[in-house]
């Protein structure tokens, strides 16, 4: 029991010290704040490295190479070879050898990004906009039509804002008037969205600050 109390006291004391070191930035940049940031970055990097080793490298590369069957070993050689080629980018003399691995990473990343944008953002947004006009669900029909119309207009005008097609004219490339008008309306919805996101981020930051201040007060009050 005493060991648990001592461990809790040490943990609370370390949290108290780091909280003060981070909050010291309120009076300006100082060595204590930079030390705390460096420690947090180091801990985060160490945690990421541990996760990468235990969840990716060891089970999907090392163990198949050492204990897997012939097929597993052949499949594990491919990422091992690509990783070795990627390390060649460290030297200017052998940087060209890492281009195939870099090209594979860029292609795979682009495919994942496009697929995620289409399947995770575009299609769900379209389905959500369509479902708002489902009058079989509960609620007033007028309210649902109004809400669905606003969301639909916001979605279409926001997409129109990111339409960069233009026609060649004697005075230079110009977009259609309809697209420009819809894009300006979309700017309003984008500004509202950014305002809401900023308010949410500010509220989250204030919540974290209040929680830390409450922790400091509770920690000090426990010794009074």
Interval 110-160: pLDDT, tens: 999 999 888 888 888 788 777 777 767 666 777 778 888 888 888 888 888
Distance of alpha carbon 176 from the chain centroid: 35
Note whether 32 and 48 are within 8 A (CB): no
pLDDT category of residue 187 using cuts at 50, 70 and 90: very high
Contacts of 190 (CB under 8 A, 6+ apart): 158, 161
Cα-based distances in Å from 186 to 56, 58, 144, 180:
42, 48, 21, 10
Interval 61-115: pLDDT, tens: 888 888 888 888 888 888 888 888 888 888 888 888 889 889 999 999 999 999 9
The pLDDT of residue 110 is 93
The pLDDT of residue 3 is 53
Note whether 61 and 67 are within 8 A (CB): no
Per-domain residue ranges for the chain?
A: 132-224
Note whether 162 and 188 are within 8 A (CB): no
| Residue at token pair 């830390």 | 212
The pLDDT of residue 48 is 95
d(CA 223, CA 212): 17
């Amino acid at each position: 029991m005493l060991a648990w109390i001592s461990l809790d006291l040490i943990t609370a004391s370390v949290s108290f010290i780091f909280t003060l070191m981070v909050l010291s930035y309120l009076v300006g940049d100082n060595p204590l704040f930079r030390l705390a940031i460096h420690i947090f970055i180091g801990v985060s990097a160490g945690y990421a490295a541990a996760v990468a080793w235990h969840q990716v490298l060891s089970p999907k590369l090392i163990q198949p190479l050492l204990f897997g069957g012939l097929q597993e070993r052949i499949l594990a050689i491919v990422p091992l070879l690509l990783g070795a080629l990627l390390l060649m980018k460290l030297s200017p003399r052998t940087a060209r050898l890492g281009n195939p691995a870099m090209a594979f990473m860029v292609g795979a990343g682009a495919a994942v990004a496009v697929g995620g944008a289409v399947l995770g953002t575009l299609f769900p947004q379209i389905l959500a906009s369509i479902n708002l006009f489902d009058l079989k669900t509960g609620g007033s029909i007028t309210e649902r039509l109004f809400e669905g119309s606003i969301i639909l207009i916001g979605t279409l005008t926001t997409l129109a804002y990111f339409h960069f097609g233009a026609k060649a004219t004697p005075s230079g490339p110009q977009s259609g008037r309809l697209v420009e008008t819809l894009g300006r309306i979309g700017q309003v919805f984008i500004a509202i969205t950014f305002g809401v996101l900023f308010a949410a981020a500010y509220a989250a930051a204030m919540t974290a600050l209040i929680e830390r201040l409450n922790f400091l007060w509770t920690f000090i009050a426990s010794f009074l």
